[in-house]
A and B are shown apart, each in its own frame.
Chain A
Amino acid sequence: MKKTAINLTVNGRSRDAVVPPRMLLSDLIRHELALPGTHVGCEHGVCGACNVLVDGKAVRSCLMFAVQADGCEITTVEGFSAGGLDLVQTAFWEEHGLQCGFCTPGMLASAHELLAENPDPTDDEIREAIAGNLCRCTGYEYIIAAIRSAARKMRDAETAAKRQPA
């Protein structure tokens, strides 16, 4: 089978790989790039456990071929915590937004995308943003609370940064 050389930026780091066309992006990330934080729950696009950010947008990595990510910038859960747990992860911790944690990396990707676009989402907007992420453990309520809290923290950090004279 013909393989293709690709280069992509994953969590800020340039990575090379040689992949057969059919390799799913989720398998590239997990098994070739050894970043197992991204999870696979269905491989048919429904559960969202495999969500990663591709050029800033939450995407099902099980529905994208690795070759298609050539030249893209990808952020996975490992990227969110590169400098310690980030604000969203911390909010998930504080609000008990995870139980088994299997859905969490995908939830975090969806939450990041939402908060980048909408710093002050309503609960219904949060619901809608994570409706494509199945969680069997939490019943979602504390995940919603976590994202609400993360939004507040991010806004507070923003305000504090603005107040700080340069």
Chain B
Amino acid sequence: MASHLDSNVIPPSRQRETPRSGLTWIGQSMKRVEDPRILAGKGGYIDDVTVPGMAHAAMVTSPHAHARIVSIDTSKARALPGVIGVYTGQDLARVVDPCPSFASPPVPQHAIVLDKVRHVGEVVAAVVAEDRYVAEDAAELVEVEWEILPANVDIEASLEATGDAVIHPDDRDSNRALDESFQFGPVDEHFAAAAHVIKRRLRWHRSSAQAIETCGVVAQFDPISGSYTIHANTNFYNFIPFVIGGSLRVSPGELRIIPVLAGGSFGSKVFNHKILIRTAGLSRLAGVPVKYIEDRVEHFTNSDSHGSDRLYDAELAVMEDGTFKSLRFTVLDDYGAYLQFGVGTHGNAMAQVTGPYRIESFGMRVIAVLSNKTQQGPYRGFGSEVTNWVMERMADAAAKELGRDPVELREQNMIAADAFPYMIPTGNIYDSGNFQKVLAEAKGLFDLDAWRERAKALRAGGRCVGVGVATCMERSVYGPTEWWSLNNRETPGFTLTSTPEAITARVDPSGKLFVTLHSPMVGNSPETVVTQVLAERLTVAPEDVVINYSDSQSGFNSVGPQGSRFTAMIAGACVSASIKLEERLKRFGAYMLQRRPEDVELRDGCVAVVGSQDQKKTFAEIALTSSFFRLSFPEGEEYDSGIDCTAVYDHPISTDPDPERKHLGIFYPIVGHICHMVAVEVDPGTGKVEILDYAAVHDNGTIVNPRTLGGQVWGGTANGIGTALSEQFLYDADGQFTNPNFSEFAMPTANEMPRNFKLGHVETPSPYTEYGVKGGGEGGRLGAPSALTSAIEDALSDFGVTISSLPVTPPVLRGMIRAAQASG
């Protein structure tokens, strides 16, 4: 191990349930517990919430990318019948403070702007009215006089901007929000020793998750108690009170967030801080409960969840024999007008920046650029989807320049199956894996050799058919240091060190297991996972598990579904709870059976005497007796009535970053591995890409539910296909966002999906998580863009086209082909 990593000692495993075969419920494609009510139309999403006396908000939004507000006249809007109030940023500032920021130093943001707008769609004023129609009528009547300022649209030009083009002139005199450099290991030495230095300039364009449900809030301020009750489709309701309480000037005790089922997130609903704060403030100002649901255009233009927008100058040092030695890059990232998470998306990427390869050192300079676009936020991959693509582009480039087979070169550089846990140069570890096995599985599933032959033959016949292979990492179970580890060392900012998940559980006197979750359902399968794990661990029947959700006041430390953490973390919480419940059940049961706790075991929902068939008590009998008949048991606290617990699971294995940032510590250690193989045909006359065949093999450790994991892989792959081929936010020179709608931002429909998608799984259990479970919520999107890019480049190999930018829409591809035709 390289010496810069010496201080990063891998802690021992805290795994309690070892991975093993012969499990009863874990591994079953059980039908989801969540589904019946959702299928019946009774899911209970945010717009289904109504509270008595509720009014509706609509926003006055900026038509300009960058402009100063000279004046706002709300008088006509206020005079409209049905309008309760119209509020500017100054009005809102009477009751709320600026939005929280995790950046260090922070970039100030207001839920309604005070004096200038920094992107199209930013909120200038809000109307509260009796219904949404009237609210929108009034919003149109608000008159704003603008002084237009120069718009920053281009990532490199933004960096050079001066004068009026500076976006936050009160806080900084340029649009450079952060500029930090890192060396993990002897990068310069390795580059000096390299036989080949592969260089590429790579561009990843902006898009976002666009779940089919937008974000929304129903907020109610109670002037008597000074507290807020808020329904919201945020992922994160148990932490949100700490995050936004300051802005709302209340303590978490005066803030109750009630979760709802969210109609998809993919990161876009992680925080929703701005609409939470704004809507809450509006309810306080207007004196009525207020509902605000983003419309689709608002979700596109103002939802603070745009994805990465990066320009890389990347270099890979390769030895004579093809060994990848070192990687380094400078990356500019256009974060938009604000910087809510600092450069957390780059911290995330550091978890697996060197891919599945034995690259020994890594260096980077990251420059966060501010521009007149909506600010970035989480989006499926949280920045790692981009570095996966960069790494795979560099691997392909190396293969091309060395005249090597791209798959064979990857295999040569892959971390060996016996090298785990493996520490990469940034200090993160890969807990386990068998990349070779995944690759072999994919080769078989896809029939790589046959496809390559076929593609070659078809190309010889003049068709543009190509094959692409991507071998990528899928880190899961994040630790929070990813958010601050790249910040300026002197002022690292918001330094959390655990991302816990908890459940509360109780065996009720009827024998049912009542479980309260402290994180919402966002399209993942929390209830199903919990049911399967608890049924497994406590030997109960799945139908005896009854699940509900807490709110932020009845809840407990839980971070919720993000960063592919939830399944592994909630499984941990279930095991923690099971241990506590088992102890209680055995204590009471053993007493009832007149045995010692050591002599009984859990079996089929009973506490049974070891070795005996019929000496047992059902959980119902035990819970009934323990709950209602305290006097049946001896004195002592340990026999206090009832069987319940709250159990938390902290991050299974993490370490702190080195204070000098020689390494970033272990922060995203539970890694899955994915291999995607795809065959495409490009129509050179139109630039259209047709996917001819697709195979994806994922290793997500022990699989709790193959069907739901399959759904994630499929969905993520569809998402990745969109990212690669069709989804891009387009801005004109004035900073107008030209396609903020579902007609022009082209997400794949069923017609755009491959016809014969093949899915395979390898199971390399984690040695650190319970049962060896790993996360798998982002996987498809972490692999598909790379595989498709390779395949398209291969298909166009006769034109000598190099793909250095995503997405490759038909016009973009056709443009490359045209240029190649003209020059060749």
- A and B form one complex: yes
Interface of A toward B, CB cutoff 8 Å? 20, 22-23, 30-31, 35-44, 46-47, 49, 76-78, 81, 85, 89, 92-94, 96, 98-105, 108, 123, 126-128, 130-144
Considering the chains assembled together, what is the distance between the CA atoms of A31 and B293 in angstroms? 14
Complex contact A93–B36 (CB within 8 A):
yes
Complex contact B753–A141 (CB within 8 A):
yes
Nearest chain B residue, comparing its CB with the CB of A135: B212
Contacts of B39 in A (CB 8 A): 77, 81, 85, 89, 92-93, 98, 101, 104, 108
Complex contact B35–A92 (CB within 8 A):
yes
Of B477-485, B537-545, B670-678, B708-716, the one with at least 4 CB within 8 A of chain A = B708-716
* 23 residue pairs A–B, Cβ–Cβ below 8 Å: A36-B48, A37-B40, A41-B213, A42-B742, A43-B295, A46-B743, A78-B41, A85-B40, A98-B38, A99-B264, A100-B211, A100-B261, A100-B263, A102-B43, A102-B211, A104-B38, A127-B753, A131-B750, A132-B749, A136-B715, A139-B716, A139-B718, A139-B780
Complex contact A136–B209 (CB within 8 A):
yes
Complex contact B38–A101 (CB within 8 A):
yes
Contacts of A76 in B (CB 8 A): 41
Complex contact B213–A100 (CB within 8 A):
yes
Q: How far is the CB of A165 from chain B (nearest CB, A)?
A: 34
The 3 A-B residue pairs with the shortest CB-CB distance, nearest first, are A37-B41, A100-B523, A102-B263
Complex contact A141–B714 (CB within 8 A):
yes
Nearest chain B residue, comparing its CB with the CB of A108: B39
**Given known A-B contacts A132-B749, A134-B749, A44 and B296 have beta carbons under 8 A apart:** yes
Contacts of A44 in B (CB 8 A): 296, 741-743
Contacts of B525 in A (CB 8 A): 99
Considering the chains assembled together, what is the distance between the CA atoms of A143 and B263 in angstroms? 16
Contacts of A126 in B (CB 8 A): 750
Indicate if B305 sits at the interface (CB-CB under 8 A). no
Q: How far is the CB of B734 from chain A (nearest CB, A)?
A: 23
Indicate if B666 sits at the interface (CB-CB under 8 A). no
Chain B 506-525 interface mask (CB, 8 Å, partner A; 1/0):
00000000000000011111
- Set A35, A123, A136, A143: member contacting B264, Cβ < 8 A: A136
- Set B32, B48, B133: member contacting A22, Cβ < 8 A: B133
Chain B 438-475 interface mask (CB, 8 Å, partner A; 1/0):
00000000000000000000000000000000000000
Known: A101-B261, A123-B755, A135-B715. 12 other contacts (CB 8 A): A36-B41, A44-B742, A93-B31, A98-B35, A99-B711, A101-B43, A102-B264, A132-B749, A137-B711, A141-B753, A141-B757, A143-B750
Main secondary structure of the interface of B (DSSP, over half): loop
Nearest chain B residue, comparing its CB with the CB of A123: B755
Considering the chains assembled together, what is the distance between the CA atoms of A138 and B780 in angstroms? 11
Complex contact B296–A138 (CB within 8 A):
no
Considering the chains assembled together, what is the distance between the CA atoms of A134 and B296 in angstroms? 13
**Given known A-B contacts A85-B39, A128-B751, A142 and B714 have beta carbons under 8 A apart:** yes
- Residue from the set A105, A141, A144 with the largest chain B CB neighbour count within 10 Å: A141
Complex contact B42–A144 (CB within 8 A):
no
Q: How far is the CB of A160 from chain B (nearest CB, A)?
A: 23
Contacts of B717 in A (CB 8 A): 139
Indicate if B266 sits at the interface (CB-CB under 8 A). yes
Indicate if B45 sits at the interface (CB-CB under 8 A). yes
Q: How far is the CB of A135 from chain B (nearest CB, A)?
A: 7
Chain B 9-24 interface mask (CB, 8 Å, partner A; 1/0):
0000000000000000
- Set B263, B264, B710, B750: member contacting A144, Cβ < 8 A: B750
Considering the chains assembled together, what is the distance between the CA atoms of A107 and B54 in angstroms? 31
Contacts of A37 in B (CB 8 A): 40-42
Contacts of A93 in B (CB 8 A): 31-32, 35-36, 39
Considering the chains assembled together, what is the distance between the CA atoms of A35 and B712 in angstroms? 29
Complex contact A30–B47 (CB within 8 A):
yes
Considering the chains assembled together, what is the distance between the CA atoms of A77 and B210 in angstroms? 23
Contacts of B707 in A (CB 8 A): 96, 142
Indicate if B747 sits at the interface (CB-CB under 8 A). yes
Considering the chains assembled together, what is the distance between the CA atoms of A105 and B37 in angstroms? 12
Contacts of B349 in A (CB 8 A): none
Q: How far is the CB of A138 from chain B (nearest CB, A)?
A: 5
Complex contact A99–B524 (CB within 8 A):
yes
Indicate if B719 sits at the interface (CB-CB under 8 A). yes
Contacts of A46 in B (CB 8 A): 741-743
Which B259-285 residues have a C-beta within 8 angstroms of A? 261-266
Considering the chains assembled together, what is the distance between the CA atoms of A133 and B748 in angstroms? 10
Chain B 50-67 interface mask (CB, 8 Å, partner A; 1/0):
100000000000000000
Considering the chains assembled together, what is the distance between the CA atoms of A142 and B525 in angstroms? 15
Nearest chain B residue, comparing its CB with the CB of A41: B212
Which B296-336 residues have a C-beta within 8 angstroms of A? 296
Chain B 189-214 interface mask (CB, 8 Å, partner A; 1/0):
00000000000000000000111111
Q: How far is the CB of B82 from chain A (nearest CB, A)?
A: 10
Q: How far is the CB of A144 from chain B (nearest CB, A)?
A: 7
- Set A39, A96, A99, A123: member contacting B45, Cβ < 8 A: A39
Q: How far is the CB of A130 from chain B (nearest CB, A)?
A: 5
Considering the chains assembled together, what is the distance between the CA atoms of A142 and B523 in angstroms? 15
Complex contact A139–B212 (CB within 8 A):
no
Contacts of A99 in B (CB 8 A): 264, 523-525, 711-712, 715
Contacts of B211 in A (CB 8 A): 100, 102, 136-137
**Given known A-B contacts A44-B743, A100-B523, A142 and B710 have beta carbons under 8 A apart:** yes
Q: How far is the CB of B571 from chain A (nearest CB, A)?
A: 19
Contacts of B29 in A (CB 8 A): 96
Considering the chains assembled together, what is the distance between the CA atoms of A130 and B753 in angstroms? 12
**Given known A-B contacts A41-B213, A98-B39, A140 and B45 have beta carbons under 8 A apart:** no
- Set A49, A77, A123, A131: member contacting B40, Cβ < 8 A: A77
Complex contact B36–A134 (CB within 8 A):
no
Complex contact B711–A47 (CB within 8 A):
no
Complex contact B38–A40 (CB within 8 A):
no
Contacts of A123 in B (CB 8 A): 755
Q: How far is the CB of A102 from chain B (nearest CB, A)?
A: 3
Nearest chain A residue, comparing its CB with the CB of B209: A136
Considering the chains assembled together, what is the distance between the CA atoms of A57 and B38 in angstroms? 23
Contacts of B210 in A (CB 8 A): 136
Nearest chain A residue, comparing its CB with the CB of B745: A46
Contacts of B747 in A (CB 8 A): 134, 136
Complex contact B296–A42 (CB within 8 A):
yes
Considering the chains assembled together, what is the distance between the CA atoms of A104 and B38 in angstroms? 8
Nearest chain A residue, comparing its CB with the CB of B43: A101
Complex contact A101–B263 (CB within 8 A):
yes
- Residue from the set A35, A36, A104, A136 with the largest chain B CB neighbour count within 10 Å: A136
Considering the chains assembled together, what is the distance between the CA atoms of A38 and B254 in angstroms? 34
Complex contact A100–B262 (CB within 8 A):
yes
Contacts of A131 in B (CB 8 A): 749-751
Nearest chain B residue, comparing its CB with the CB of A101: B38
Considering the chains assembled together, what is the distance between the CA atoms of A18 and B759 in angstroms? 52
Complex contact B711–A102 (CB within 8 A):
no
Considering the chains assembled together, what is the distance between the CA atoms of A94 and B31 in angstroms? 6
Complex contact B47–A139 (CB within 8 A):
no
Complex contact A78–B715 (CB within 8 A):
no
Considering the chains assembled together, what is the distance between the CA atoms of A40 and B504 in angstroms? 34
Complex contact A78–B40 (CB within 8 A):
yes
**Given known A-B contacts A49-B212, A100-B263, A101-B39, A140 and B753 have beta carbons under 8 A apart:** yes
Complex contact B296–A43 (CB within 8 A):
yes
Contacts of A98 in B (CB 8 A): 35, 38-39
Nearest chain B residue, comparing its CB with the CB of A22: B133
Q: How far is the CB of B352 from chain A (nearest CB, A)?
A: 23
Considering the chains assembled together, what is the distance between the CA atoms of A128 and B755 in angstroms? 12
Considering the chains assembled together, what is the distance between the CA atoms of A96 and B706 in angstroms? 11
Nearest chain A residue, comparing its CB with the CB of B295: A43
Contacts of A134 in B (CB 8 A): 212, 742, 747, 749
Nearest chain B residue, comparing its CB with the CB of A38: B41
Which B714-770 residues have a C-beta within 8 angstroms of A? 714-719, 741-743, 747, 749-751, 753, 755, 757
Contacts of A77 in B (CB 8 A): 39-41
Q: How far is the CB of B104 from chain A (nearest CB, A)?
A: 33
Contacts of B716 in A (CB 8 A): 139
Complex contact A142–B711 (CB within 8 A):
yes
